[in-house]
């Protein structure tokens, strides 16, 4: 067996976990959790093993292993994997992050009734993502693309009995399906020109000039639609904040290593297609730039912890898209890998805060939490520093590369990117300062009715309220004096949480050094596109210093506004002049409202009109109308039916006479014949 | 021919029905088990055929021939090519699960199973008949049990629905009969053997008009908009097993007729009408999807979504490419089992809640997790998710039709978004969200016979989703004679002039 | 020798009497008798034609025997119906039986 065939094992171990849990261990909670951890953990170990081999051989050829799946005439569909440095690095990031998230989930989901189900779905999710990573052809990536959509549907809607979660799951699936619609068209169009689905064939045909350039642009943009949907890029980014309705580990998995990363990964994977069309690259770059700005600005005005992080994800992904669109292949992919780690960490820290703090999500009800959860706070600050891209944390290196690329390729986008960096620093530390420092808010976790925390999952019926058993003791703690009492009830940070957090923190801090400019066998040795352009971009002292200055300005601004805040609300929300802009950010530029209006007024109304048409025109006029026409005719003939048999006989006789008369009149010969007989 | 496999598959349900007539009506359990065994035998033979079919040889296998009405050249000619094998399996699956889906029926059990088994028998017969007259006999034979099933064991507006169905389908039958007569006399070879007729050369004009006539007759059963009005009422009015077999098998009879009779015998006619057929197909897909979206009643929604899904089949047929036709046929199978599952779950839900209005349910997944999971799987199959059989069917149709009618295909593909929207909204309304009605909190989850239905169908959905080659190879084998006929007359594949010129400008 | 038109005259007469009775009489038994009359008129025609057109063939005779047999069966059924009607309704007046009115 060849070494690289281990990749099959990496791919199928999580699927095996899923099958084992759903068919066998569903009733045994602990066992199910362990099955997933070991399944994905084994994948992670194998991935690292493969990664070591990749590192030893920087110029390895892409290894492909194809299993024939289906033939319909000339359409041949294969199930194949492609192992090259890009795939192995991504695979390692996915499996490692996923494993850590599974360990973390042991604590986070501990008293959820759907514990086993949760781990089954997580394993399936990881499998689907690995499928995207390893796929060697377009159709396979599309298949796993949809599988990821399915898993996100199942996991976002994990607490399906919450109306918001049920709606968010549907929204995520349908919105991303819009993107998939374009993706599928792109795949079909490419197939029309190429006659095959494999990446190699696509690239070969493009290289041979087999696709007219306009068609190539159309193909590339259509395929990119899929990435827009999955990676939550403008204008299909609306599902992402709602997706926070899922349990936090899900958010971490979806928004760090898997679903949203899939879009960026896909662009990188089929870079040969995109880079062949300048127009398509421009579309990607600008979509990225716009999304980065929109998402970062929205993140500055959110008050729910996970949503801030979610918008941050969206903004970072857009950054990667921008880099890829501008030709910064290495920079984009590097940011993708690093982002896996620090964003997963950021999510898991948020989850830990919520887990420890009565499943509260509103940051204005927090404050001064540092002393209660030191590990979480420290790791979160590290993740934040990486997130904003401050030297020497991991995020800096990839962000810097992206900015260098942008500055060389497109000044407008460079300025936009720097502005986004400023926003990022501001909202990240707005979150950290508000949650961990400053005064404790006057809120206490008592009787806040139908909150929006994660905790519904722990009850049989949601309308009982969202109070957990541990909270019952706090029900009386209404006044600040009793708060000290309630603080004693804050849980201790469990080891199953702190260990994954610490491991991720190590990555979030140090992983960036792999991309140290000029490093021998650095990241760009393995991941680069073509020669020269798109490969490693030089280090630019001006860009690096400026970006750090910007970040520090952002952090200081956050400190000035939030570090010493007094009340439990955002001071900016009432700032004169700014408050209107704040409102726009807070309401997410009214995208949801506009889309909702479109769905309600156009789609649903159209459906209602057609349903009416069906009922009244097709059934009413067509079917019943024709039916009643015949019924009316029948009704008028009914009058002949008077029941007198002799009358019928009379009519019958008259009828015979008439027939005979007609016969005789029409056939003169007949009369002659009869006459002849008579003689 | 050692064992008449095809006849065994077809007649096993009928034998069951005859046996049931001998059982006293009070012994319900015995009646049910006889029905179950009869359909299981049929299923067993069908599965055997799938594996015994010699792909290398192709053509019609398991042939059984006997003279029937020699004066008119009518024969008892049963056999199976790849397509028949697949559809016989479909019929057997739906028949088998239908028996279990109706386990809870208490009213006139004996008569119910007799009717149901006769229906299964007639449907299976259509797929196995290779004599046009025999095919027509089975085709018409299927109408009567449907009428009885709906009018006796149905719900809401059942008499209306039954009458409407019978009138529409007999109208289709009448048109088909007319077609058969014209065909018989124009061919003038004193035979209605489909294989012999296939070798006969019809003139171009004959092909064009006979294709139109047959397709019109069969289109009512598919159904193709605007001839679809019978379907939502009938599917909704029918009892669970009735809806299952209506959506799962009966709809396919019409589309099968189009392929087996109209397309096989009159390929030139098919080419002449294909564009119109394609347009109608796309109207089916989009129009029915929107109508489904506007429904409040769960079963009406599923019924309309069936029309929409059969639109994909019609589009695949209209494309006249191997991928399109294979996708269309695979869609028969995929949609057949998926619709059976959806109707089964809708029926089970209705049996428990006694309402079909989606807004009146909600949160049922908490109470009935098994049914909830099955419903989600059914909805996802409907959406055409990879890993379910429907994905391959739809994808193949898209590949096949995109090359021929890019614009129509694009409109049809947009259907995947609408389907996702209304199917998942239904899931959300019925099974997700908090429990709305307190009385529903104690509803029982799936009983053992529900489990049989759910697990058998889901097994086939997933198995065909993961390993589609099994069916696809059968279908392609069955399609090869048709593709041979089409080879010389089908329009050139590329209609991408709009893109090509665009590319040329730059 | 009696010519063919003579037979026709008689059979026409018989048929007309039968028809008149069948259409106007109220008593069901009389109506049945009138129908028999009409059948016999036809029988006569058949025999006459057979005799004059193709004397050797006896085809018409064959038909007549058939008709007589069928008529006998018909009368049996008809009378049975009349008896049942009489039992249920105490009358054989045809005007009272208009149940098939639409």
Tell me the pLDDT tens digit for each residue of A438-488.
Answer: 776 665 554 443 344 444 333 333 333 343 433 433 433 344 555 555 555
How many Cα atoms occupy the beta-carbon half-sphere of C23 within 13 Å? 15
pLDDT score at A372: 78
Which of A148, A165, A365 lies closest to A260, judged by CA? A148
Please answer yes or no on whether A161 and B432 come within 8 Å at the CB atom. yes
Average pLDDT, chain A: 82
- A598 C-beta neighbours (distance < 10 Å), count: 11
Which residues in chain B touch residue A619, judged by CB atoms under 8 angstroms apart? 229, 233
Minimal-distance CA residue of chain A relative to B426: A170
Average pLDDT, chain C: 88
Picking from A15, A70, A72 by the largest number of B CB atoms within 10 A of its own CB, the best residue to mutate is A72
**Is pLDDT above 50 for A328?**
yes
Which residues in chain B touch residue A70, judged by CB atoms under 8 angstroms apart? 392, 468-469, 472
- Pick from A638, A646, A653: CB nearest C102: A638
pLDDT score at B312: 93
Classify residue A25 by its DSSP letter. Answer: I
Which residues in chain B touch residue A173, judged by CB atoms under 8 angstroms apart? 420, 424
Please answer yes or no on whether A191 and B399 come within 8 Å at the CB atom. yes
What does the alpha-carbon distance between residue B386 and residue B468 come to, in Å, rounded to a whole number?
11
**Is pLDDT above 70 for A530?**
no
**Range in A257-271, A304-318, A473-487 the model is least confident about:** A473-487
- B144 C-beta neighbours (distance < 10 Å), count: 16
Which of B86, B6, B453 lies closest to B255, judged by CA? B86
CA distances from residue B185 to A46, B181, B190, B206, B269 in whole angstroms, order as listed: 72, 6, 8, 11, 18
pLDDT score at A677: 66
Please answer yes or no on whether A650 and C31 come within 8 Å at the CB atom. no
Q: To the nearest whole angstrom, how far is the Cα of A625 from the nearest Cα of chain C?
A: 23
Residues A328 and A405 sit within 8 Å (Cβ to Cβ): yes
Determine B/C contact with 3+ CB pairs under 8 A as the test: no
Tokens of B35: 């029905």
Can you tell me the ipTM of this complex? 0.90
Instruction: Provide the β-strand partners of residue A83.
Output: A63
Classify residue B491 by its DSSP letter. Answer: P
Which residue ranges in chain B fall short of pLDDT 50? 1, 492-506
pLDDT score at A472: 35
- Pick from A73, A174, A180: CB nearest B421: A174
pLDDT score at A487: 59
- Pick from C19, C97, C101: CB nearest A653: C19
pLDDT score at A473: 37
**Range in A83-97, A526-540, A650-664, B255-269 the model is least confident about:** A526-540
Residues A421 and A299 sit within 8 Å (Cβ to Cβ): no
- C64 C-beta neighbours (distance < 10 Å), count: 20
What does the alpha-carbon distance between residue A302 and residue B53 come to, in Å, rounded to a whole number?
63
Mean pLDDT to the nearest integer, A288-298 = 90
Under the banding of pLDDT at 50, 70 and 90, the label for residue A362 is confident
Q: To the nearest whole angstrom, how far is the Cα of B94 from the nearest Cα of chain A?
A: 24
Instruction: Provide the β-strand partners of residue B45.
Output: none
**Is pLDDT above 90 for C16?**
yes
Please answer yes or no on whether B500 and A212 come within 8 Å at the CB atom. yes
Under the banding of pLDDT at 50, 70 and 90, the label for residue A658 is very high
Determine contact: B381 vs chain A, CB below 8 A: no
Tokens of A656: 């015979």
User: If you average pLDDT over each of A492-501, A504-513, B9-18, which comes out highest?
Assistant: B9-18
Q: To the nearest whole angstrom, how far is the Cα of B359 from the nearest Cα of chain A?
A: 13
Classify residue A81 by its DSSP letter. Answer: E
Structure-model confidence comparison of residues A358 and C93, the more confident one: C93
Residues A452 and A361 sit within 8 Å (Cβ to Cβ): yes
Which residues in chain A touch residue B380, judged by CB atoms under 8 angstroms apart? 150
Minimal-distance CA residue of chain B relative to A183: B413
pLDDT score at C53: 82
Task: Give the total residue count for chain C.
Answer: 102
Please answer yes or no on whether B434 and A163 come within 8 Å at the CB atom. yes
Q: In this predicted model, what pLDDT tens digit does every residue of A122-134 receive, in sequence order? A: 999 999 999 999 9
Tokens of B177: 């009969």
**Predicted TM-score (pTM) above 0.95:** no
Residues A491 and A354 sit within 8 Å (Cβ to Cβ): no
Q: In this predicted model, what pLDDT tens digit does every residue of A579-588 receive, in sequence order? A: 788 888 888 8
- Pick from A75, A173, A462: CB nearest B323: A75
Instruction: Provide the β-strand partners of residue A75.
Output: A72
Tokens of A525: 């040795």
Which residues in chain C touch residue A677, judged by CB atoms under 8 angstroms apart? 4, 49, 52-53
Element (H, E) at A492: none
Tokens of A498: 């702190």
Minimal-distance CA residue of chain C relative to A642: C101
Pairs of residues, one from chain A and one from chain C, whose beta carbons lie less than 8 Å apart: 37
What does the alpha-carbon distance between residue A240 and residue A298 come to, in Å, rounded to a whole number?
12
Which of B49, B147, B134 lies closest to B91, judged by CA? B49
**Range in A259-268, A645-654, B488-497 the model is least confident about:** B488-497
Which of B462, B454, B381 lies closest to B100, judged by CA? B454
For residue A63, the SS3 value is strand
Residue in the structure block whose two tokens are 């393995």 = A526
Q: In this predicted model, what pLDDT tens digit does every residue of A149-165 receive, in sequence order? A: 898 899 888 888 888 88
Please answer yes or no on whether A646 and C94 come within 8 Å at the CB atom. yes
- Chains in contact with C, counting 3 or more C-beta pairs less than 8 Å apart as contact: A
Q: To the nearest whole angstrom, how far is the Cα of A646 from the nearest Cα of chain C?
A: 5
Picking from A638, A656, A677, A679 by the largest number of C CB atoms within 10 A of its own CB, the best residue to mutate is A677
Which residues in chain A touch residue C98, judged by CB atoms under 8 angstroms apart? 642-644
Please answer yes or no on whether A213 and B472 come within 8 Å at the CB atom. no
What does the alpha-carbon distance between residue A193 and residue A212 come to, in Å, rounded to a whole number?
9
Tokens of B274: 């294909």
Classify residue B183 by its DSSP letter. Answer: H
Minimal-distance CA residue of chain A relative to B421: A174
Please answer yes or no on whether C23 and A646 come within 8 Å at the CB atom. yes
Instruction: Provide the β-strand partners of residue B74.
Output: B69
pLDDT score at A642: 77
- A68 C-beta neighbours (distance < 10 Å), count: 11
Q: Give Cβ neighbours of residue B377 (< 8 Å, ≥ 6 apart).
A: B341, B388, B458, B461
Please answer yes or no on whether A146 and B385 come within 8 Å at the CB atom. yes
């Amino acid at each position: 067996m060849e070494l690289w065939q281990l990749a099959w094992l990496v791919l199928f171990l999580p699927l095996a976990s899923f099958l084992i849990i759903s068919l066998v261990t569903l009733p045994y909670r602990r066992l199910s959790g362990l099955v997933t951890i070991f399944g994905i953990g084994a994948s992670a170990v194998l991935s690292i093993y493969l990664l070591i081999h990749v590192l030893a051989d920087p110029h390895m050829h892409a290894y492909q292993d194809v299993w024939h799946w289906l033939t319909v005439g000339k359409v041949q569909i294969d199930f194949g994997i492609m192992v090259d440095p890009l795939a192995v690095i991504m695979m390692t990031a996915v499996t490692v992050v996923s494993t850590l998230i599974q360990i973390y989930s042991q604590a986070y989901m501990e008293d959820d009734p759907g514990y086993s189900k949760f781990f089954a779905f997580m394993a399936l999710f990881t499998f689907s993502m690995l499928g995207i990573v390893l796929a060697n052809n377009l159709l396979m990536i599309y298949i796993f693309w949809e599988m990821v959509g399915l898993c996100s549907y199942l996991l976002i809607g994990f607490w399906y009995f919450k109306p918001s979660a049920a709606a968010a799951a549907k929204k995520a699936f349908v919105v991303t399906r819009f993107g998939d619609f374009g993706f599928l068209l792109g795949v079909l169009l490419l197939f029309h020109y190429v006659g095959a689905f494999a990446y190699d064939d696509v690239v070969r045909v493009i290289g041979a000039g087999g696709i007219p350039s306009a068609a190539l642009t159309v193909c590339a943009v259509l395929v990119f639609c899929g990435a827009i949907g999955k990676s939550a890029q403008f204008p299909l980014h609306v599902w992402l904040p709602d997706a926070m309705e899922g349990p936090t580990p899900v958010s971490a998995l979806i928004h760090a290593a898997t679903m949203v990363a899939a879009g960026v990964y896909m662009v990188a994977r089929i870079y040969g297609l995109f880079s062949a069309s300048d127009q398509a690259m421009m579309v990607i770059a600008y979509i990225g730039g716009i999304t980065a700005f929109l998402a970062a600005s929205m993140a500055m005005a959110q008050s729910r912890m996970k949503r801030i992080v979610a918008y941050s994800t969206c903004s970072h992904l857009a950054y990667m898209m921008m880099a890829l669109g501008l030709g910064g292949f290495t920079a984009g992919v590097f940011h993708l890998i690093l982002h896996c780690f620090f964003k997963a960490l950021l999510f898991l820290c948020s989850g830990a805060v919520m887990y420890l703090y009565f499943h509260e999500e509103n940051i204005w009800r927090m404050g001064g939490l540092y002393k209660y959860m030191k590990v979480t706070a420290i790791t979160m600050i590290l993740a934040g520093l990486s997130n904003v891209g401050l030297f020497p944390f991991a995020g800096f290196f990839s962000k810097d590369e992206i900015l260098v690329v942008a500055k060389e390729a497109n000044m407008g986008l460079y300025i936009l990117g720097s502005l986004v960096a400023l926003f990022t620093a501001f909202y990240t530390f707005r979150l950290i300062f508000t949650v961990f420092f400053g005064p404790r808010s006057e809120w206490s976790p008592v009787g806040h009715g139908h909150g929006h925390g994660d905790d519904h999952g722990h009850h049989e019926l949601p309308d009982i309220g969202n109070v957990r058993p541990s909270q019952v003791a706090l029900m009386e703690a209404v006044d600040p004096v009793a708060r000290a009492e309630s603080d004693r009830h804050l849980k201790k940070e469990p080891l199953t949480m702190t260990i994954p957090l610490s491991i991720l923190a190590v990555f979030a801090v140090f992983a960036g050094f792999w991309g140290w400019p000029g490093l021998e066998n650095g990241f760009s040795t393995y991941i680069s596109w073509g020669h020269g352009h798109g490969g490693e971009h030089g280090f630019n002292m001006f860009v690096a210093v400026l970006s750090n200055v910007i970040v520090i300005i952002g952090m200081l601004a956050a400190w000035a506004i939030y570090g010493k805040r007094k009340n439990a609300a955002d001071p900016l929300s009432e700032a004169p002049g700014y408050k209107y802009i704040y409102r726009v950010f807070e309401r997410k530029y009214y995208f949801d409202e506009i889309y909702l209006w479109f769905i309600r007024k156009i789609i649903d109304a159209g459906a209602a009109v057609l349903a009416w048409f069906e009922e009244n025109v097709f059934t009413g006029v067509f079917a019943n109308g024709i039916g009643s026409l015949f019924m009316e005719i029948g009704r008028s003939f009914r009058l002949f039916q008077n029941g007198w048999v002799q009358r019928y006989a009379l009519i019958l006789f008259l009828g015979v006479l008439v027939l005979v008369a007609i016969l005789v009149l029409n056939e003169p010969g007949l009369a002659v014949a009869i006459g002849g007989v008579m003689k | 021919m050692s064992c008449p496999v095809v006849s065994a598959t077809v007649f096993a349900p009928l034998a069951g029905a005859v046996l049931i007539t001998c059982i006293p009506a009070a012994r319900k359990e015995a009646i049910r088990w006889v029905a179950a065994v009869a359909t299981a035998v049929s299923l067993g033979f069908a599965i055997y055929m799938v594996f015994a079919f010699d792909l290398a040889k192709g053509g019609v296998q398991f042939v059984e021939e006997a003279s029937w009405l020699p004066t008119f050249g009518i024969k008892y000619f049963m056999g199976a090519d790849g397509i028949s094998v697949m559809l016989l399996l479909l019929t057997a699956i739906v028949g088998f699960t239908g028996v279990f889906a109706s386990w809870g029926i208490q009213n006139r059990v004996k008569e119910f199973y007799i009717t149901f088994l006769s229906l299964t028998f007639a449907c299976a017969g259509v797929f196995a008949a290779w004599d046009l007259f025999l095919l027509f006999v089975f085709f018409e034979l299927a109408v009567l049990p449907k009428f009885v099933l709906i009018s006796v064991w149905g719900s809401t507006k059942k008499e209306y629905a039954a009458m409407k169905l019978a009138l529409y389908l007999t109208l289709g039958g009448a048109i088909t009969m007319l077609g058969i007569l014209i065909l018989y006399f124009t061919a003038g070879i004193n035979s209605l053997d489909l294989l012999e007729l296939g070798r006969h050369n019809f003139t171009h004009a004959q092909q064009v008009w006979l294709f139109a006539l047959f397709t019109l007759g069969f289109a009512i059963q598919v159904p193709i908009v605007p001839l679809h009005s019978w379907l939502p009422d009938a599917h909704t009015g029918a009892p669970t097993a009735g809806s299952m077999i209506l959506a799962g098998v009966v709809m396919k009879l019409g589309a099968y007729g189009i392929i087996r009779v109209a397309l096989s015998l009159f390929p030139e006619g098919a080419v002449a009408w294909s564009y119109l057929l394609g347009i109608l197909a796309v109207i089916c897909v989009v129009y029915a999807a929107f109508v489904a979206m506007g429904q409040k009643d769960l079963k009406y929604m599923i019924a309309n979504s069936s029309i929409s899904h059969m639109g994909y089949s019609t589009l695949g047929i209209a494309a006249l490419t191997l991928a399109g036709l294979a996708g269309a046929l695979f869609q028969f199978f995929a949609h057949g089992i998926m619709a059976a599952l959806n109707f089964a779950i809708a029926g089970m839900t209705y049996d428990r809640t006694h309402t079909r209005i989606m807004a009146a349910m909600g949160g049922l997944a908490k109470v009935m997790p098994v049914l909830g999971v099955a419903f989600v799987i059914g909805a996802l199959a409907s959406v055409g998710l990879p890993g379910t059989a429907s994905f391959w069917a739809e994808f193949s149709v898209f590949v096949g039709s995109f090359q021929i009618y890019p614009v129509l295909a694009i409109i049809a593909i947009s259907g995947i978004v609408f389907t996702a929207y209304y199917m998942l909204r239904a899931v959300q309304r019925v099974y997700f969200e908090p429990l709305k009605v307190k009385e529903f909190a104690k509803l029982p989850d799936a009983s053992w016979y529900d489990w049989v239905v759910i697990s058998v169908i889901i097994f086939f959905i997933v198995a065909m989703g993961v390993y589609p080659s099994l069916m696809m190879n059968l279908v392609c084998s069955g399609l090869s004679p048709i593709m041979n006929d089409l080879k010389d007359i089908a329009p050139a594949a590329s209609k991408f002039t709009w893109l090509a010129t665009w590319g040329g400008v730059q | 020798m009696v010519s063919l038109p003579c037979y026709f005259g008689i059979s026409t007469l018989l048929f007309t009497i039968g028809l008149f009775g069948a259409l106007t009489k109220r008593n069901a038994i009389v109506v049945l008798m009138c129908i028999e009359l009409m059948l016999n008129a036809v029988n006569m025609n058949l025999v006459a034609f057979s005799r004059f057109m193709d004397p050797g063939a006896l085809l018409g005779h064959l038909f007549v025997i058939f008709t007589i047999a069928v008529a006998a069966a018909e009368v049996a059924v008809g009378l049975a119906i009349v008896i049942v009607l009489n039992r249920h309704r105490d009358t054989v007046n045809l005007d009272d039986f208009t149940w098939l009115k639409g």
